[in-house]
Amino acid sequence: MLTETKRLLCRDGIWLDRRLGQNQVIDASILKKMIDYAEVTKNDKVLEIGAGVGNLTVMLAEAAGTVTAIERDKKLIRILKERLKGRTNVKVLQGDALEMELPEFNKIVSNLPFSISSRITFKLLGLKFDIAVLMFQKEFAERLVASPGSKNYGRLTVNVYYRAKAELLDEVPPSAFFPQPKVSSAIVRLKPRQPPFEIKDEQLFSRVVRALFQHRNQRVRNALLHSFSEIFPKTKMTKNEIKSFIGSTLPGKFLEARVPELTPEDLGEITNLLTSP
C-alpha cells in the first residue's frame, strides 16, 4: 500500500502537507480493523471524511452498500476518482466537511485531519447515525475517554460523554502513515445515545462546563465566581451578590470540590441548580 500511494502521488506531482493533516494510512490491517470496528455491511451508507488518495475508500467500497467520500484537496480528488472509476456504489465529493451539509449516512469511518478533530466531532454528534470509527491524534483520543480527576479529563470529555459512548480501541504508530506524523494516533469508536442525565438548559450546560474548566485547578466556588459573567452574560449583580448567590444555590459538596473531580453528572446537577439569577 505504501508503494501504490507513493506511485500515485509521484505520478501526479503531489506533495502531501503534514500541516493539513494529509497523512495517509498505508497499513491495510489498520484500515481493515477500522471497518470491522464499525461492523460495516452491505446494508450501510458509509461516510468518509478526508479520503485522501483513497486507501480506505477502496476497502469501504468492498464492504459497504454505499460510500460517500469527502476530500478537500482538488489534486487528491483526481486520484480518488481514478481509483474508484467503475465503482457505482461510491460518490466522491470535493469540499470542506466543516462547511458543507453532510449527506445522509448511518456509519462514518474516517482517518480525520488532526486539525479539525474537535470541530468535526461535534458537528457529527449533532447528526443522527449509528456508529463512528475515527482516527485521531492519540492525545485527543485520550481526552475523549478520560476519567474524572485525570489530567486528560476536561470540557471535551464531558461534552462528548453527554452525547455518545466513546471507546479507545487501538493505538496506531506513526509508521502506519505516509508521511509519518510526529505523534501516535488512536482509533476511537463513538456510539450516539440519549443523554445519561437530564439537563434543563443545554446552552447553559455548555457555558457552565466551559467556564469551570477555564479554571480547572480551582475549587468550584472560586471558578464560578471568576467566570460568572461568562455563564450569565446579562447579569448586573455585584461581586458580593454573586458570592451570595453561588453560596446559597450550591451545596457544599460542590462548592469545595475541585473542578476536575466533578463527574459529568455533577456538572449537570450544578447546571440545573444554577437558574438565572
Domain boundary among 163, 192, 221: 192
Give me the pLDDT at residue 277, please.
64
- Full 3-state SS string of 64-79: CCEEEEEECCHHHHHH
Hey, what's the cell of 17? 502537507
Residues 250/272, Cβ–Cβ less than 8 Å: no
* Three-state secondary-structure class, residue 134: strand
Residue 109 lies in a domain: yes
130 and 207 share a domain? Answer: no
83 and 216 share a domain? Answer: no
CA 244 from chain centre, in angstroms, equals 38
CATH number, domain of 248, equals 1.10.8.100
257 and 181 share a domain? Answer: no
Residue 104 lies in a domain: yes
Q: Give dist(CA 170, CA 166) in Å, integer.
A: 13
Give me the pLDDT at residue 14, please.
80
Full domain range(s) for residue 13: 2-192
140 and 218 share a domain? Answer: no
Residue 264 lies in a domain: yes
Residue 197 lies in a domain: no
Give me the pLDDT at residue 74, please.
92
Domain boundary among 174, 192, 210: 192
Per residue in 164-181, pLDDT (tens digit) is 999 999 999 999 999 999
CATH number, domain of 113, equals 3.40.50.150
Give me the pLDDT at residue 276, please.
65
182 and 221 share a domain? Answer: no
**How many residues belong to the chain?**
277
167 and 85 share a domain? Answer: yes
